């Protein structure tokens, strides 16, 4: 719990300026900015937070509104364009000693008028200014009376964000690319996406779109279809045969090696190449499988291969060399890469399946496949999978769902999913589970496999399982499954595919190289110790420290993607790798790996957070969410039918959906 001098955050007034017993606040804001410099104050869309009584609130308010008006106001509506200028000028007059008491009334009146703006940037930016005038009136009057001068004792750092942008692991400027689609500027929309996402056709199709969980539009009716709008921008380019406009900077002398051509490796290479660095990616898969886990772990009916290859070709055209059929640790060693290149980025992906812990899984029985990700890889590469006609897949994530759906396309008569919790607790995306259901997949929920059953020839004939009851929630927030005594039964099958998760194979990292590996089989990287008032490190939703620099304990070697954060999503790997590319650039040019102030405040806002699910969002009328076209019916899962199932928006649909966006920009400012 953080103790504050004053806070109006969330409309909950906490005022400890008079001393006495301090009232605590529970919002999540660190007490330091970079592990060393103290956070003195925060000003943003929902009020003011003061950690230091020495902060000059009128000066901070004046600087805040100056940055809002001169840097971020779009000028597309009169209240925002002119109203913020009135606020800026009034505050500037006050802190320069030329203001009048009537200016305070003007500030409050204009703040009320700003509620009629085109979007929420200007109205939300007026909130802390109005709070400052209301709760620090004496300080403003002191300036007006000529009894006070600005001290200049604090630095101010600002950040432009939005709830959806904050929640996106790649921090794409979502309102900007949606605004461009609204105005039929599809190519400009795609340019905004590529600023933070070099695989737009992929993340326009397979992203779990966490951004939509933080869409303020869902406080009115339904969230914006953010992911499909990204696809709309990407599809427009290739459908119209337009050439991507990006051009790398002049080529530099320092070189970078990347281990793995998955989403993290490709993203890091793309952003480094744009800065002019020669980048070479070493990929264990054969040519034609750029994209790593995307190429061999995501079915073509979700991600068409020709569009993935197009994204990879665009990255290569920036000057990135991809060397295929080359496994680091076998064909070339990590120490050799370290010696040959100025920096090395480790992004091998998570291609190793986890064991189930079921009796008989290690006996080499016929029909027991190595793992879900291995099964998918063999299927997509046209190799024999070893699958029979009655397939059981064990797991509840997206890989497990992909396996049961691919099994039908590979010729299975029956494809059954075994999962130890209920459908509600499945970590797989709801729409993927629904898709499997429509295609004829069978589900056995609240079931735990305990033993593999075989015949005299060691051929699998079934899986002995036990029914599970759901008890109290565990650390993940899901109800803990507990076996029901005497509920054992057998699921008949000839094939078992474990798909309960996967790890990165980090065996290519020599033990004596000085790179630490966690017990979760991820690479340890350094981080900035952002701490709360209790002295605890602030962590993300995966338990990783915030503000990670992505450099290992070995100078010049960095890590990202699944190998650093643990198996996660394409968009999380891309966001992680984009930051790594920036840090690698600083290390190459300055000899130091560090986070810029913009990146630090980005992490701080993620922890705050920006979206408030309880906010009452006013809107004149409800507008239904658009839904993309889709191929329906069981025949879509017929033998070898890998045609795309989801068809995207028409351009007119995309424009209508974009018009639902509330353009929820926010401006934050920190005093140091």
CATH 1.10.1060.10 fits 164-245+618-658, yes or no: yes
Q: How confident is the model at residue 20 (pLDDT cuts 50, 70, 90)?
A: low
Q: Does domain 2-161 have CATH number 1.20.1440.230?
A: yes
- Name the segment(s) of the chain with CATH classification 3.50.50.60: 256-351+504-607, 353-502
Between 22 and 509, residue with greater pLDDT: 509
Whether pLDDT at 22 is above 70 = no
Tokens of 364: 């080499």
Please state the pTM of the whole predicted model: 0.91
Is the pLDDT at 534 greater than 70? The verdict is no
CATH number attached to the domain at 353-502? 3.50.50.60
**Side-chain half-sphere exposure of 240, counting CA atoms within 13 A:** 12
Pairing of strands 343-346, 156-161: unpaired
| Structure-token pair, residue 17 | 């300026």
C-alpha to C-alpha distances, 157 to 58, 291, 541, 601, 672, nearest whole angstrom: 16, 37, 25, 8, 8
Residue 529 pLDDT grade (very low, low, confident, very high; cuts 50, 70, 90): confident
Q: Which pLDDT does position 1 carry in this prediction?
A: 44
Q: Which two tokens stand for residue 354?
A: 């986890």
- The H or E element spanning position 577 is helix 570-590
Residue range 292-301: average pLDDT? 88
Q: Looking at the predicted structure, is the pLDDT value of residue 273 above 50?
A: yes
Distance CA 4, CA 342 (A): 46
Pick the CATH number of 256-351+504-607 from 3.50.50.60, 3.40.50.80, 2.40.50.140, 3.30.470.10: 3.50.50.60
**pLDDT of 398-418, one tens digit each?**
899 999 999 999 999 999 999
Contact status, residue 232 vs residue 654, Cβ threshold 8 Å: yes
Which is higher by pLDDT, 429 or 531? 429
Return the structure tokens found at 540.
Answer: 């993300």
Residues contacting 369, CB < 8 A, separation 6+:
375, 385, 386, 387, 495, 496, 497, 498
Alpha-carbon gap, residue 590 to 206, rounded angstroms: 37
Mean pLDDT of the chain: 90
Burial 619-650 (b: 16+ CB within 10 A, else e): eeeeeebbebeeeeeeebbeeeebebbbebbe
What contacts 517, CB < 8 A, 6 or more positions away?
506, 509, 523, 524
CA distance 122 to 598: 21
Terminal Cα-to-Cα distance of the chain (whole angstroms): 21
Whether the per-residue pLDDT at 372 is higher than 80: the answer is yes
User: Which residues fall within 8 angstroms of residue 568, CB to CB, at 6 or more apart?
Assistant: 542, 562
Report pLDDT for 470. 83
Kindly write down the DSSP assignment for every residue of 445-492, as one continuous string: ESEEEEEEEE-TTSBEEEEEEEEEEEEEE-TTSSEEEEE-TT--EEEE
Task: Average the pLDDT over 485-501 and give the result.
Answer: 91
138 pLDDT band, cuts 50/70/90, is: very high
Can you point out the beta strands (E) in 60-218?
Answer: 156-161
Residues 46 and 10: beta-carbon distance below 8 Å: yes
The model's confidence at residue 532, banded by pLDDT at 50, 70 and 90, is low
3-class SS string, 393-429? EECCCHHHHHHHHHHHHCCCCEEEEEECCCHHHCCCC
DSSP string, 636-654: GGSTT----SEEE--HHHH
* Whole-Å CA distances, 136 to 8, 86, 364, 393, 602: 11, 20, 74, 63, 28
Cα separation, 99 vs 119, in Å, equals 29
- Give the pLDDT confidence of 561-615 residue by residue, as tens digits: 988 888 888 999 999 999 999 999 999 999 999 999 999 999 889 888 899 888 8
Antiparallel, parallel or unpaired: β 256-259 and 41-44: unpaired
Listed residue (408, 397, 387, 429) closest to 642, CA to CA: 408
Q: How confident is the model at residue 18 (pLDDT cuts 50, 70, 90)?
A: confident
Beta-strand relationship, 320-323 and 279-282:
parallel
Burial (CB count within 10 angstroms: exposed 0-12, middle 13-18, buried 19+), residue 477: exposed
Condensed to tens digits (0 to 9), the pLDDT of residues 28-74 reads 788 888 878 888 999 999 999 999 899 999 999 999 999 999 999 88
Element containing residue 202 per DSSP (H, E): helix 200-203
What does the pLDDT look like over 208-241, one tens digit per residue? 899 999 999 999 999 999 999 999 999 999 999 9
- Please, which pLDDT band fits residue 14 given cuts at 50, 70 and 90? confident
Place of tokens 């890989």: 399
Cα torsion through 151, 157, 159, 163, rounded to 10: -80
The answer, yes or no, to whether residue 540 has pLDDT greater than 70, is no
Q: Where in the chain is the domain with CATH 1.10.1060.10?
A: 164-245+618-658
Residue 615 to residue 188: CA distance in whole angstroms: 31
Residue 533 has pLDDT above 60, yes or no: no
SS3 221: coil
Q: Where in the chain is the domain with CATH 1.20.1440.230?
A: 2-161
The yes-or-no verdict on residue 474 having pLDDT over 80 is no
Helix, strand, coil percentages for the chain (3-state, nearest 5):
35, 20, 45
Residue 2, pLDDT above cutoff 60: no
> What is the C-alpha separation between 395 and 426, in angstroms, rounded?
9
* pLDDT tens digits, 77-123: 888 788 889 999 999 999 998 989 999 999 999 888 888 777 889 89
């Amino acid at each position: 719990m953080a103790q504050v001098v004053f806070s109006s955050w969330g409309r909950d007034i906490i005022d400890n300026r008079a001393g006495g017993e301090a009232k605590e606040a529970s919002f999540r804001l660190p007490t330091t900015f970079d592990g060393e410099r103290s956070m003195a104050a925060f000003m943003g869309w929902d009020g003011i937070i003061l950690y230091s009584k020495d902060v000059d609130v009128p000066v901070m308010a004046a600087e805040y509104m100056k940055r809002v008006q001169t840097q971020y106001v779009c000028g597309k509506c009169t209240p925002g364009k002119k109203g913020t200028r009135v606020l800026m000028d009034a505050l500037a007059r006050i802190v320069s000693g030329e203001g009048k008491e009537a200016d305070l009334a003007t500030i409050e009146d204009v703040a009320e008028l700003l509620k009629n703006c085109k979007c929420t940037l200007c109205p939300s930016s007026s909130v802390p200014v109005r709070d400052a005038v209301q709760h620090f009136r004496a300080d403003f009057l002191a300036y007006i009376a000529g009894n006070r001068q600005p001290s200049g004792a604090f630095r101010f750092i600002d950040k432009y964000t939005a709830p959806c942008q904050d929640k996106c692991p790649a921090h794409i400027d979502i309102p900007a690319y949606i605004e461009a689609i609204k105005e039929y500027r599809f190519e400009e929309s795609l340019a905004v996406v590529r600023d933070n996402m070099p695989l737009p056709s992929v993340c326009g199709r397979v992203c779990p779109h966490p951004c939509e969980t933080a869409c303020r539009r869902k406080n009115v009716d339904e969230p914006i279809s953010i992911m499909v709008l990204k696809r709309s921008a990407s599809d427009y380019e290739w459908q119209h045969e337009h050439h991507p406009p990006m051009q790398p900077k002049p080529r530099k002398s320092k070189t970078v090696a990347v281990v793995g051509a998955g989403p993290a490796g490709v993203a890091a290479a793309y952003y480094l190449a744009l800065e002019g660095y020669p980048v070479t990616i070493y990929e264990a898969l054969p040519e034609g499988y750029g994209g790593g886990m995307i190429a061999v772990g995501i079915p073509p009916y979700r991600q068409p291969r020709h569009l993935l290859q197009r994204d990879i070709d665009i990255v290569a055209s920036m000057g990135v060399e991809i060397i295929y059929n080359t496994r680091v640790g076998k064909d070339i060693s990590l120490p050799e890469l370290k010696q040959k290149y100025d920096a090395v980025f480790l992004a091998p992906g998570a291609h190793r399946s986890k064991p189930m812990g079921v009796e008989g899984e290690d006996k080499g029985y016929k029909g027991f496949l190595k793992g879900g990700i291995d099964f998918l890889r063999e299927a997509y590469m046209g190799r024999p999978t070893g699958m029979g006609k009655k397939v059981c897949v064990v797991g509840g994530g997206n890989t497990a769902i992909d396996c049961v759906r691919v099994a039908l396309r590979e010729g299975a008569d029956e494809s059954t999913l075994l999962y130890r919790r209920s459908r509600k607790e499945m970590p797989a995306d709801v729409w993927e589970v629904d898709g499997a259901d429509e295609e004829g997949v069978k589900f056995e929920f609240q079931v735990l496999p305990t033993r593999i059953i075989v015949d005299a020839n060691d051929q699998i004939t079934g899986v002995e399982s036990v029914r599970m009851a759901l008890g109290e929630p565990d650390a993940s927030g899901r109800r803990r499954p507990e076996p029901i005594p005497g509920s054992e039964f057998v699921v008949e099958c000839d094939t078992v595919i474990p798909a309960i998760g996967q790890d990165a194979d980090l065996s290519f990292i020599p033990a004596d190289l000085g790179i630490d590996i966690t017990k979760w089989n991820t690479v340890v990287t350094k981080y900035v110790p952002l701490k709360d008032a209790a002295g605890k490190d602030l962590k993300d939703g995966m338990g990783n420290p915030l503000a990670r620099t992505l450099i290992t304990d070995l100078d010049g070697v960095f890590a990202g993607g699944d190998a650093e954060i643990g198996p996660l999503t394409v968009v999380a790997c891309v966001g992680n790798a984009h930051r790594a590319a920036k840090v690698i650039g600083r290390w190459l040019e300055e000899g130091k790996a560090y986070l810029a102030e913009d990146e630090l405040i980005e992490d701080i806002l993620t922890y705050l957070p920006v979206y408030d699910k309880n906010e009452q969002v006013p809107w004149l009328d409800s507008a239904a969410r658009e839904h993309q076209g889709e191929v329906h019916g069981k025949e879509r899962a017929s033998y070898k039918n890998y045609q795309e199932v989801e068809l995207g928006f028409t351009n007119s649909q995309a424009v209508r959906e974009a018009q639902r966006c509330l353009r929820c920009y926010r401006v934050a400012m920190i005093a140091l």
